[in-house]
Amino acid sequence: MRPVRIALGQVNPTVGAIEANARLVVDGIARARGLGCDIAAFPELVLTGYPPEDLLFKPAFIEANLRALADVARASQGLTVILGFVDKRDDIFNAAAILHDGVHAGTYHKQYLPNYGVFDENRYFQAGTEAPVFAVGSTLLAANVCEDIWYPTGPTTHQALAGAELVVSINSSPYHAGKALFREKMLATRAADDLVCLAFVNTVGGQDELVFDGQSFIFNEKGERIARGRAFAEDLVVADLDLDQVFRARLHDSRRRKEKLATTAVSPRIELPPWPPRERAALAERAVAELAPVEEIYRALVLGTRDYVTKNGFGRVALGLSGGIDSALVATIAADALGPTNVTGVTMPSPYSSTGTRRDAARLARNLGVELFTIPVTGVLGAYRRALGGPFKGLKEDVTEENLQARIRGNFLMALSNKCGWLILTTGNKSEIGVGYTTLYGDMAGGFAVIKDVPKTLVYQLAEHANRRAGREVIPRSIFERAPSAELRPNQTDQDTLPPYAVLDAILEAYVEGDQGLADMVARGYDSATVKRVIAMVERNEYKRRQGPIGIKITPRAFGKDWRLPIVNKFRE
Amino acid sequence: MRPVRIALGQVNPTVGAIEANARLVVDGIARARGLGCDIAAFPELVLTGYPPEDLLFKPAFIEANLRALADVARASQGLTVILGFVDKRDDIFNAAAILHDGVHAGTYHKQYLPNYGVFDENRYFQAGTEAPVFAVGSTLLAANVCEDIWYPTGPTTHQALAGAELVVSINSSPYHAGKALFREKMLATRAADDLVCLAFVNTVGGQDELVFDGQSFIFNEKGERIARGRAFAEDLVVADLDLDQVFRARLHDSRRRKEKLATTAVSPRIELPPWPPRERAALAERAVAELAPVEEIYRALVLGTRDYVTKNGFGRVALGLSGGIDSALVATIAADALGPTNVTGVTMPSPYSSTGTRRDAARLARNLGVELFTIPVTGVLGAYRRALGGPFKGLKEDVTEENLQARIRGNFLMALSNKCGWLILTTGNKSEIGVGYTTLYGDMAGGFAVIKDVPKTLVYQLAEHANRRAGREVIPRSIFERAPSAELRPNQTDQDTLPPYAVLDAILEAYVEGDQGLADMVARGYDSATVKRVIAMVERNEYKRRQGPIGIKITPRAFGKDWRLPIVNKFRE
């Protein structure tokens, strides 16, 4: 038995708040020390927050992060601390610092820089080439950064072959539905393949369109999970490792000896003094339950909303309540994220609003306990018609008048935002944003698009789930049952213009997430004319998406950083 | 004398219009053949248009480009054609095809993939490793792609050392002010360093926020420019090269013989049949004048506007005419780009509009010959005040009411856009967009922000220049002389809120283009409080820029693809 106690500080940093982020780390170190830990690890780029984007081009930003690292180093007495920072040499590196007993003892530079999806790391960083192993007395440990762990013959393998018994992977790995499970399996495999204890520490929190889900993990050399961090909340995950088990397992594995030779060049060994002997109490058992898929998404939306609002310095939000399912879900998420007293619903009836939707908006607000304003659009709409009477003389009514209503609502909300300092949440879902069934500067007006990446069919599932988790019918049943409508002209329903949502969502998923073309989808049984129409709508409305607010990514490909389509685009399949 | 005649097809492709782009190339080949050319070269990714962005993830897009390449290959009888396409092997490559006498004879893969500024090529492409040289009879030529030419010991050097007498560099090199001259110097140096004839063919035209300036060049082995393409217009640049001069020059250069050995491995030689002997007339002299800096920028704005509007399928634009200098300049550019009959000015007076600005808007419209609508905001503003009377009860008038006026104007313009199918041009300049002295969904509402990257001080210079080039006072003198004002409250001027524009623009240039921090700017003599205030305004308004329309990049760093700052950002210097 050669026991090592490790703590993973699953913290929620804020991009640019370098001093505050360093305090999160220093506090975590103090807690880890109190629990008798030998090692405390914190996420990738925890000092700067992730992703810092073009802030990385500012020398003052890099310097501030180096000063913060020096502060953290001084706070590392008696243990080893691993954390992410931006290293500056002849270039900058996405790096892990290895601090040991008050001293900055070594540095690892991320080798695999992701430059796909939402990632642009080649824009900023130079890639590392060395994968050092640190000998703390007789214990061999190593660190690498995020993407590195995803490569089966990457730095983890080199470090394990060079002797590392524990590899700490520091991460800022953004959430999308289904990723956590995939990641957990990969980590288990990596630990078992490399016969190494693997500690995976992840950021938690929202940053613009990204949510980091936490869910840090510790695996033993058999690939067995021995600890798990909470999802969508800060946590300090502590576990005891028996590194003699790693050594013993490796003695049985003769293949490993042959592979070892090639790794010494890239994995230099750095010797550090041993940890002091410690008295420590046994760890309490803790169980962190796995979340059901729909609950996982719901929590991502709540955390993403809370962090966007509060990290931008807002205390309060407002949103339009139409009496439809989208705004009902967003209001529910907002009330969960910020508390109902920090949410104002605004119902803005037009001549085409039904009594049903008006009543449902009021009932929802009451159920949630949020304030409700009523501001009718009719008077302003009349004034617009009069003002535009000249230029529009002789022209028929069309979508222009529908858009005007939506834009009047947008202006009302923005006026409340300006006057009261509230952030406006928009309520568009991924299906309508995908096909452009939205009004630019109208229902798209606002600071944050909570369900921007949630397809309509999933909106219904999340709304059902919201009622289940509340244990009561917060969102009135009638909202679920009414046919979706923008209520911008008499007797309008979404399905006048769009295919049924089940069909639309399947096509959109194939097109957006799968880059499937017309031929692929027709081969999978979709109607050719429908697919063509949907693709044409998606392409035609790129200009709208480019001007819409950002929102929370929950799928493998959102209409955000991972969707970079030209506006001028004549490609037709 | 071993003469070779080369044509550079400086064409204007459209992203996604693969068949139409191929026709541009085929037409260019036919013209080159008619002129007795041996070689015809076309820009980087000319078949797909540049940059194709995430269209590159669509297999059908890649396939369409390969089919188009096969069509072009068939059209290459009797000469050698070099053009850009997306090559598909185990991965995709930004490639140059070498077509010879009807056959696809070889391919070069771009080695240096730009991933900075506006570029994301690592997101898409695998880098090439080989730099082949093609022997057409006794003539040795080679091709490489854009970024490759910027590296002093890159593929051009390898190809020249391996014998290439002519290197064809195919480009889609976006414009910013000052870049053309820098590029020309670099190309002259590269040709002379490598003792090689260098033909640089560039795309021309607008694509979303980018403008490609054309300005193709041919240099001899002394680095002397022997031909130059037009700026901001299509062109076929034809020149005769004497490659015996290259051979002779190299015989005098013994250093070259020693360097040669290392390059054979990366520069394989591909043998092709010689060109047929040709009868050809001597080329007419042609002189393409260099543009003055302000004229160059003006033409970039005109071409960028014309291509965005027409490539998106619009025939006509509208914009608000406030009587100020920004909208006057944009109207003038639009009239030049599309013809005055395709431009509608809209003046939307409020209670705070002066008779001076109203008169000037009318005079400008008359001078330009554009239609003018007048739609007063007063009636609608009153209706908003009444509708918001309840929620705003007891609250003082503030910026909310100013924004409402701007948003009413935005809605008027969007209503015209919806009703008449016109694209709305916005008129905000870089200074106000930088500090957020704009109204989201108000003056920022529209499809294209023509002068988004033009600082206010340059707006004045361009407006003066527009009058000079028109040979008359199109933009009334009184517009130049009036203090800039948003006219959203009584006696308002921009300088109530902002530092003088000369100071503001200098600070913004240092901050945005130079990534200078507070300390740098104070060291250069700027007032610390002013710099702090400007930086804070830029940071606070990131959310507005994120929802603004795209506009034409004319500086080294625009608020576009080359500006990627987080919205949640607590970094303060």
Quote the ipTM score: 0.95
Give CA separation, B341 vs A374, B239, B328, B335, B368, in Å: 44, 40, 16, 8, 9
How confident is the model over A472-485, as a mean pLDDT?
95
pTM of the model: 0.96
**Cα separation, B557 vs B178, whole angstroms:** 12
Nearest CA in chain A to B559: A54
Band (pLDDT 50/70/90 cuts) for residue B262 is low
* B146 belongs to the catalytic site: yes
d(CA B92, CA A398): 45
pLDDT at A264: 65
A7-36 as b/e: b if 16+ CB within 10 A = bbbbbbbbbbbbeebbbbbbebbeebbebb
pLDDT of A74: 97
Alpha-carbon distance A477 to A545, whole Å? 31
State mean pLDDT over A304-328.
97
Query: Does residue B566 have a cis peptide bond before it, meaning omega lies within 30 degrees of 0?
Result: no
What span, in angstroms and rounded, lies between the C-alpha atoms of B330 and B573?
36
Q: Write out A318-329 in H/E/C secondary structure.
A: EEECCCCHHHHH
Total length of chain B: 573
User: How far is Cα B474 from Cα B480, in angstroms, rounded to an integer?
Assistant: 12
Answer whether B57 touches A (CB < 8 Å): yes
Q: How far is A44 from chain B (nearest CA, A)?
A: 17
A532 is catalytic: no
Question: Could you tell me the sign of the dihedral formed by the alpha carbons of A512, A513, A515, A517, in that order?
Answer: negative
Selecting from A375, A400, A414 the residue whose C-beta is nearest the C-beta of B418 gives A400
The answer to whether the Cα torsion of B486, B491, B496, B501 is positive or negative is positive
Q: Would you state the pLDDT for residue B258?
A: 65
Which segments of B36-132 are extended strands (E)?
Answer: 39-41, 80-88, 92-100, 103-109
**Could you count the other beta carbons within 10 Å of the beta carbon of residue B136?**
23
Which tens digits make up the pLDDT trace of A284-300?
888 888 899 999 999 99
Residues of B in contact with A127 (CB under 8 A): none
Output the average pLDDT for chain B.
95
Instruction: Find the radius of gyration of the CA atoms of chain A.
Output: 27
Cα(A309)–Cα(A301) distance, integer angstroms:
12
Distances (CA, A) of B495 to B455, B483, B525, B538, B550: 15, 8, 21, 17, 26
The radius of gyration of chain B from alpha carbons, rounded to an integer in Å, stands at 27
Angle at A457 between CA A454 and CA A458, to 5 degrees: 45
Burial of A378 (0-12, 13-18, 19+ CB in 10 A): middle
HSE-up of residue B272 (Cα within 13 Å, Cβ side): 26
Confidence of residue A442 (pLDDT cuts 50, 70, 90): very high
B136 has a chain A CB within 8 A of its CB: no
Give bridge partners of residue A310 from the DSSP assignment.
none
pLDDT in tens, B405-434: 999 999 999 999 999 999 999 999 999 999
Beta bridge partners of B373: B346
Length of chain A: 573
Nearest-by-CA chain A residue for B373: A391
The one-letter amino acid code at A394 reads G
What is the C-alpha to C-alpha distance for residues A273 and A284, in angstroms, rounded to an integer? 29
Q: For residue A350, which residues of chain B lie inside 8 Å, CB to CB? A: none
The model's confidence at residue A258, banded by pLDDT at 50, 70 and 90, is low
Instruction: Give the pLDDT score at A261.
Output: 61
Give the nearest partner residue to A571 out of B16, B415, B440, using CB atoms.
B16
Please identify among residues 236-295 of chain A the ones whose CB lies closer than 8 Å to any CB of chain B.
none
Q: Distance from B421 to chain A by nearest Cα, in Å?
A: 10
Q: Does B526 touch chain A (CB under 8 A)?
A: no
Indicate whether B521 pLDDT > 70.
yes
Contacts of A52 in chain B (CB under 8 A): 566
Using DSSP bridges, classify how beta strands B92-100 and B80-88 pair: parallel, antiparallel or unpaired.
antiparallel
The encoded tokens of residue B115 equal 């991933």
Q: Among residues B405, B403, B404, B442, which one has the least CA distance to residue B426?
A: B442
Helix (H) or strand (E) segment spanning residue B311: helix B293-311
* pLDDT surpasses 70 at B260: no
Model confidence over B308-358: pLDDT tens digits?
A: 999 999 999 999 999 999 999 999 999 999 999 999 999 999 988 888 899
Q: Residue type at A36?
A: G
The predicted model gives B111-127 an average pLDDT of 97
Distances (CA, A) of A433 to A262, A300, A322, A455, B423: 52, 20, 17, 9, 20
d(CA B80, CA B278): 14
Kindly state the helix (H) or strand (E) to which residue A410 belongs, with its residue range: helix A399-420
Q: Which residues of chain B does A54 touch, with a Cβ-Cβ cutoff of 8 Å?
A: 563-565
Helix (H, G, I), strand (E, B) or coil at B376: coil
B349 backbone φψ class: left, alpha, beta (φ>0; ψ -120 to 50): beta
| Helices and strands (DSSP H and E) totals, chain A | 18, 20
Query: Residue B126's pLDDT is what?
Result: 97
Is residue A44 among the annotated active site residues? yes
Locate the chain A residue with the closest alpha carbon to B405.
A411
First to last CA, chain A: 64
Euclidean distance between CA atoms B213 and B303, whole angstroms: 9
State the DSSP string of A481-532.
HSPP---SSTT--GGGTS--HHHHHHHHIIIIIT---HHHHHHTT--HHHHH
pLDDT above 70 as % of chain A:
98
Find the DSSP H helices in B339-398: 355-368, 378-387
What average pLDDT does the structure give for chain A?
A: 95
- Give Cα B162 to chain centroid, integer Å: 34
What's the rounded Cα separation, in Å, for the pair A362 and A365? 5
Cα(A183)–Cα(A296) distance, integer angstroms = 15
* Out of B312, B543, B573, closest to residue A568 by CB: B312
Identify residue A301 by its one-letter amino acid code: L
Q: Chain A: residue nearest B65 by CA?
A: A571
- Short-list B296, B312, B305, B308, CA closest to B232: B296
